[in-house]
Amino acid sequence: MDDRYLVETPEIVDLAYDVAGLGSRCLAAAVDTLLIMLFLTGLGAALFLTVGQLVGESGGSLVLAAWSLLSFAALWGYYLAFELVWAGQTPGKRLLGLRAVREGGRPITASASAVRNLVRIVDFLPFGYGLGALVMFADPRSRRLGDLAAGTLVVRVGVAVSLDQLAEQSAPVIIPPRAPDAPPTPLLPDLQRIAADDYDLAQDFLRRRARLSPEQRARLAAQLAAALRARLGMPDSGEPEPFIEHFVREYRVYRAMT
My answer on whether 222 and 143 are in the same domain is no
Secondary structure (3-state) at 15? strand
Phi, psi of 99 (to 5 degrees): -155, 140
Domain that holds residue 90: 4-156
Whole-model pTM: value is 0.58
My answer on whether 178 and 202 are in the same domain is yes
My answer on whether 204 and 186 are in the same domain is yes
- Which of 156, 173, 208 is where one domain is finished? 156
The mean pLDDT value for 107-124 works out to 90
- Domain count within the chain: 2
My answer on whether 140 and 181 are in the same domain is no
The mean pLDDT value for 43-49 works out to 77
Instruction: Give 227's contacts (C-beta < 8 A, 6+ positions apart).
Output: 198
My answer on whether 62 and 151 are in the same domain is yes
β-bridge partners, 102: 152
My answer on whether 23 and 100 are in the same domain is yes
Q: What is the pLDDT of residues 140-179, one digit of tens each?
A: 888 999 999 999 999 988 655 454 554 555 566 888 888 8
My answer on whether 95 and 193 are in the same domain is no
DSSP 99: E
Distances from the Cα of 113 to the Cα of 40, 96, 124, angstroms: 22, 19, 17
